[in-house]
Amino acid sequence: MAVTVWAAVFIVFFLFRGSIALGMVVSTAIYCLLKGITLQEVVENMVIGFDNQFILLAIPLFVLSARVMNIGGITTRIFNFADRSVGFLRGGLAHVNVVGSIIFSGMTGSALADASGLGMMEIKAMEDGGYERHFACAVSAATATIGPIIPPSIPMVIFSMLSGASLGNLFLGGVIPGLLMGGAMMVYIAAVARRRNYPVGTWQGAGALLAAFVQAFLSLMTPVILFGGMMIGVFTPTEAAFAAAGYALAR
């Protein structure tokens, strides 16, 4: 009964376009009243449940590293490298969107960071290249969802904290699904690009690809440092977040 009332109150807030945060607070407060849960019990459970959860420190640090990458021009170098790699295909800028998001996901673990950083750049480039705005936005929104799958992943950090599952194993388990998502998106983009006759990019040569790779090399090393460090035991996943933030600041 209490769960039904909680869900109903939250849905009412949502349907009437109320504040989601307020809806969560009000529905949870009503649930606690119906179940006879006191404020003291809520506070005690929060203190006990989150005590010594150092793993949560990884979340703001990954967010910080993503912000630093956006400001410091790392996203531009990643975009340029992805453009030289797959930009010559039909619908090339859409493929660049996917490849860029895969690389960026290995640094931030956040869909919002991808969409707000690399995504804005990709949307503008696609519009300038003759793509419809709705298609550019749809591709950017879809590719941003790779962020929470390919590690480091902020949702995986939270799940690990709540379930006790190994964060390192969760990170390793997200690599292949994330790559499969990216591959599936590129197959779909190829089909749409052929049907809509989207422009074919220009192959700028192996020299341009190598130059872009050299320029982005240190940025591309971020996922290698994170996974390599965790695999050989140099640092824990939480310490990897410190390493990512420090490396981004250094770059």
Chain-wide mean pLDDT for the chain? 79
Quote the pLDDT of residue 181. Answer: 92
Q: Is the peptide bond before 152 cis (omega within 30 degrees of 0)?
A: yes
- Tokens found for residue 238: 């939480």
CA-to-CA distance for 98 and 188, rounded, in angstroms? 11
Question: Which of the listed ranges 16-20, 71-75, 94-98 does the model predict with the highest average pLDDT?
Answer: 94-98
Nearest partner of 99 among 68, 63, 139, judged by Cα: 139
Average pLDDT over residues 110-129: 77
Reduced to 3 states (helix: H, G, I; strand: E, B; else coil), residue 233 is: coil
Residue 52: pLDDT band (50, 70, 90) is low
Quote the pLDDT of residue 105. Answer: 78
Quote the pLDDT of residue 51. Answer: 52
Q: Which amino acid is at 232?
A: I
Quote the pLDDT of residue 187. Answer: 93
Quote the pLDDT of residue 43. Answer: 66
Residue 26: pLDDT band (50, 70, 90) is confident
Of residues 207 and 163, the one with the higher pLDDT is: 207
Q: Which amino acid is at 33?
A: L
Of residues 156 and 231, the one with the higher pLDDT is: 156
The model's pLDDT over 166-186, given as tens digits with 9 standing for 90+, comes to: 777 887 888 899 899 999 999
Residue 45: pLDDT band (50, 70, 90) is low
User: Could you give the percent of the chain with pLDDT greater than 70?
Assistant: 88
CA-to-CA distance for 39 and 251, rounded, in angstroms? 46
Sequence length of the chain is: 251
Contact assessment for residue 111 and residue 136, using Cβ atoms and an 8 Å cutoff: no
Could you tell me which residues are beta bridge partners of residue 90?
A: 200
Contact assessment for residue 29 and residue 2, using Cβ atoms and an 8 Å cutoff: no
Average pLDDT over residues 243-247: 75
In the block, which residue shows the tokens 């996974």? 227
User: Could you give the percent of the chain with pLDDT greater than 90?
Assistant: 6
